[in-house]
Amino acid sequence: MRELTDEGQDDTGDARVDEALRALETLDRVPVHQHADVIDDVHRALQDRLAADPTAESPPTDAGPGDVPPGDLRADAEG
């Protein structure tokens, strides 16, 4: 398991998670009484990302040349 540190922290590999976590970097620039709002926003964004359907967001990238998604008009026209 990777330990998170302040030095050279890598991206998570998920742009939406990275964006949410970057909001935490603003905590040192906002008044303390606004910290809870920032943290709540980050928490909500991370929960939304976890609840999202991963298959609905991007098509598979490993489809072979014979693989045609359902409803693909090119396949209907060729066959």
The structure tokens listed for 69 are 């998604």
Nearest to 40 by CA among 56, 57, 23: 23
13-65 pLDDT, tens digit each: 888 999 999 999 999 999 999 999 999 999 999 999 999 987 765 444 454 55
- 39, 25 Cβ separation under 8 angstroms: no
Question: Residue 75 CB: number of other CB atoms within 10 A?
Answer: 13
pTM > 0.85: yes or no: no
Span 51-77, pLDDT tens digits: 998 776 544 445 455 555 555 555 445
Domain range list for the chain: 12-53
Retrieve residue 43's tokens.
Answer: 């928490």
Of 39, 46, 56, 40, the closest CA to residue 19 belongs to: 46
